[in-house]
Amino acid sequence: MSSVDIEAIKNQLGLEINAVNSSQGLEELRIKYLGRKGLISQLTGMIPGLPQEERAAFGQKANALKNKTLSLIEEKQRSLGQVSAVEEFSGLDIGLPAIVQDLGRLHPLTQIIDEICAVFVRLGFSVVEGPEIETEYNNFTGLNIPLEHPSRDAFDTFYLKPSNNTNDQRPTTSDRLLLRSHTSPVQIRAMKSQKPPLAVVVPGRVYRPDAVDASHSFMFHQIEGFMVDKGIRFSDLKGVLEAFAKAVFGEDIKMRFRPHFFPFTEPSAEVDISCIICKGKGCSVCGRKGWLEVLGAGMIHPNVFKHVGYNAREYTGFAFGMGVERIAMLKYGINDIRLFFENDLRFLRQF
């Protein structure tokens, strides 16, 4: 055998390795070339019989062929391995577009609560939350709501059954627990735990035993706000609420304050914005009035300050409360409050 034969073996190897299409075929090929009695061992076995001057060159060529064979087999092994991984998932079409994972989103009420609170945070308010289970004291008495007030009636407030819990630390058994009917009790909590100056907004769930219809729900959301300091005036309330209305409903919105009564504010007002549908001309949404009621407000009643231990001669303050669902319904033209709570993705995906 000569160098020419080595070239021939190399060519043959190239052809055969190209034709291999299974691991088993590749293994047979490996044995044929690199096995103990394979073609390459036969070549090296011939070296001692060659003339002295040819041995070195022949040996080098045989060795080069051996290395070439090893690397070709390795390469083939890799490409066969990839194909078999794909074959394992039979029916897998790696050319298909990937399944797009639907991203979640915030509930429209959460979005509007965040938006409204952000407006007040920019004005220097801090955001505080309170518990949904409240005492009768915080929900009514502390807010100057008299015992005979209709909102205290069991038809208007969800009372909890008295507990048999002997760890109950509340001062009197007459201070029943209830599901808060508004966010105003957080005024009492915040003012009792902090000294003025105070500027706070309180978003949260409230509960009332109302029959559910297009505009009522037994659970809904409010945002309460209040500010207490020396020299706070009604004009401060007007300025703050105007900034809120413009930020949420647009720069050319108008506001008006109508005298009203709330036990916890004096004077009190109901606040309207110009109708965002008809711009004040009168339409079915505003009942031809041109105005939409959006919140209640007023100057904090001295009796409330007395309950929390503030000196009403030293401090004044304003408070306001709004229904979040109502604001969202007006802003987005939603005509049924139940849509917020039914978890219908066709509705929720629009926000």
Residue 262 or 340: the one with the smaller Cβ distance to ligand DAH is 262
Q: Which residues 6+ apart lie within 8 Å of 269 measured at CB?
A: 257, 258, 259, 260, 296, 297, 298
Q: Which of 58, 220, 262, 340 binds ligand DAH (CB under 6 A)?
A: 262
Q: Write down the least CB distance from residue 295 to ligand DAH, Å.
A: 7
Q: Which of 134, 136, 224, 325 binds ligand DAH (CB under 6 A)?
A: 224
Q: What angle do CA 338, 262, 180 make, to 5 degrees?
A: 45
319: β partners: 226, 298
Structure tokens at 350: 């629009």
Q: How far apart are CA 226 and CA 293, in angstroms?
A: 19
- Can residue 296 be called a binding residue for ligand DAH (CB under 6 A)? yes
- Can residue 220 be called a binding residue for ligand DAH (CB under 6 A)? no
- Can residue 265 be called a binding residue for ligand DAH (CB under 6 A)? yes
Residue 262 or 315: the one with the smaller Cβ distance to ligand DAH is 262
Structure tokens at 336: 């049924």
- Can residue 320 be called a binding residue for ligand DAH (CB under 6 A)? yes
Q: How far apart are CA 191 and CA 197, in angstroms?
A: 10
* CA dist 119 → 129, 184, 293 (Å): 17, 20, 20
Q: Which of 69, 139, 144, 184 binds ligand DAH (CB under 6 A)?
A: 184
How many residues lie near ligand DAH (CB under 6 A)?
A: 11
260 φ, ψ (degrees, to nearest 5): -150, -175
- Can residue 297 be called a binding residue for ligand DAH (CB under 6 A)? yes
- Can residue 128 be called a binding residue for ligand DAH (CB under 6 A)? no
Q: How far apart are CA 251 and CA 242, in angstroms?
A: 10
Residue 256 or 281: the one with the smaller Cβ distance to ligand DAH is 256
Number of residue whose CB is nearest ligand DAH = 321
- Can residue 316 be called a binding residue for ligand DAH (CB under 6 A)? no
Catalog residues that contact ligand DAH under the rule CB under 6 A: 182, 184, 224, 262, 265, 296-298, 319-321
